[in-house]
Structure 1
Amino acid sequence: MNTPRMGNNVVIGENVTFGENVSIGHNVIIYDGAKIGDNVLIQDNVVIGKQPSRAKNSILPDVKQLPPTVIGSGCTIGTSSIIYANAELADDVFVADLATIRERVTIGEKTIVGRGVAVENDCKVGVKCKLETNCYITAYSELGDYVFVAPGVITTNDNYMARSAERYDKFKGITIKNGGRIGANTTTLPGITIEEDGAVGAGSIVTKDVKQEELVVGTPAKVIRKVPENQLLRNQ
């Protein structure tokens, strides 16, 4: 096994594997079985492979032990970030300080997860996405490739607002297809889909699906126009 460069007070569990040229900061915890690729930078106070704690009244499945975390080559994990068990980061993912990536989440190559971002359980994020500072990606969401989510965006997944057992099989997060974009401080209602190259203006509340290449703005968000040709994903 390759031996990483390590700071002080590092705790490494059993059967953790490291690629070449891994650097680990101070006060890092890496739980059993985690797989760390080549050229990975893990900064101070990071936790990798944390098993989730389940509240007594949680609707999440009671899983005793989730599979280990997988961190691809070339990743950076910022200070005080937490990457849960059964999360998988592809190569060259950048996770900024204070971010949280929950269990059963996959993050595609070269995606940026910004400072303070929370990606909740059972989400899929594509390649070369940008999730900006303090945005919240609710559980059961799926983001395609080249998706942009601006700072302070809030997504939701529970139309019943925790008031009925009927909601248990109806949770649905946001779906953002390739090239979709959401402006700062936007809120989306549960189950919203933003089609390819759809865009949402800053400060909007999205109550209906956004069609391909539409720009919507306002409270509630309404269609303003088609996204300009020079801003479409196919021209990037």
Structure 2
Amino acid sequence: MAKLTERIRQTPRLKKFVLHLMMHPVKTRPRCWLRCLRFLYMKKGKKSVIYRSVRKDIVPFNTFAMGNYSVIEDYAIINNAVGDIVIGSHTRIGLGNTVIGPITIGDKVNLAQNVIISGLNHHFENIDKAISEQGVSTKPIVIEDDVWIGANSVVLAGIRIGKHVVIGAGSVITKDVPSYSVALGNPARIVKQYDVEKKQWIKVSQ
């Protein structure tokens, strides 16, 4: 199976043909027959829940894995067509979230409502060609353990958010956020960090 997958990836015409069989060219989502087989290739841990209203644009040629006791709430969109999605244990993907790979989300992460996390960008440089025809690029997003991201926030491609981080509601994360810090705003900036020596949260002067 691995050899066949690699051959498909390395043969442009064959890859295009297989993608056409799997993905609807207008709806840009997996075809009905493939969606019916999701139970064979979606990895979901013990007691984890994906609500029925979630749009699951999940394909078998990239990874989708979810740990134990995690939840993806109603009306979220989960899309691994352009990159792997790995979600840890005891993690909650909130109402109306959009999660587009490649993304790794750790344990005990809490995403509030309408958060957008996308490892995808569209090419636009050629002005003689429609943006929709120029293809895409991806940069992996990593959200480490014990992170809380407030409602209506956006995390851009290539970002890493460290452990025990709080992102304020409505923030746009354009740069990496170090562990044990609080960030907010558009673009987001660090407003507090935990001082290990003083054992307290310290305001960050701008």
Common fold: TM-score over 0.5: yes
Deviation at 1:226, TM superposition (A): 2.0
Q: Identify the structure with bigger relative contact order (alpha carbons < 8 Å, sequence gap 6+).
A: 2
Map of 1:209 onto structure 2: 176
Matched, 1:177 2:144: yes
Deviation at 1:153, TM superposition (A): 0.4
Deviation at 1:158, TM superposition (A): 3.0
Q: Is the 8 A contact 1:198 1:213 kept in 2?
A: yes
The one-letter code sitting in structure 2 at the alignment partner of 1:128 is H
Map of 1:107 onto structure 2: 66
Aligned residues: 164
CA displacement 1:47-86 (0-9 Å, x = unmatched): xxxx942428x7x9xxx979x544xxxxxxxxxxxxxx52
RMSD: 3.3
Identity %: 21
Deviation at 1:157, TM superposition (A): 2.2
Deviation at 1:164, TM superposition (A): 9.0
Q: Could you tell me which of 93, 115, 123 is aligned with 1:131?
A: 93
1:216-231 equivalences in 2 (<5 Å): 216-226=183-193
1:27-42 equivalences in 2 (<5 Å): none
Q: Is the 8 A contact 1:144 1:178 kept in 2?
A: yes
1:1-236 equivalences in 2 (<5 Å): 52-55=22-25, 69-70=38-39, 86-101=41-56, 102-103=58-59, 104-121=63-80, 122-161=84-123, 163=131, 168=136, 170-226=137-193
3-state SS in 2 of match to 1:179: coil
Q: Is the 8 A contact 1:99 1:115 kept in 2?
A: yes
- Name whichever structure is richer in helix by fraction: 2
Deviation at 1:118, TM superposition (A): 1.4
TM-score normalized by the length of structure 2: 0.67
3-state SS in 1 of match to 2:138: coil
Separation of aligned partners in 2, 1:207 and 1:105: 25
Deviation at 1:131, TM superposition (A): 0.7
Separation of aligned partners in 1, 2:150 and 2:120: 22
Deviation at 1:139, TM superposition (A): 1.8
Separation of aligned partners in 2, 1:230 and 1:113: 33
Deviation at 1:199, TM superposition (A): 1.8
3-state SS in 2 of match to 1:92: coil
Q: Is the 8 A contact 2:123 2:134 kept in 1?
A: no
Map of 2:3 onto structure 1: none
TM-score normalized by the length of structure 1: 0.59
Q: 1:65 to 1:204 in 2, by over 3 A?
A: closer
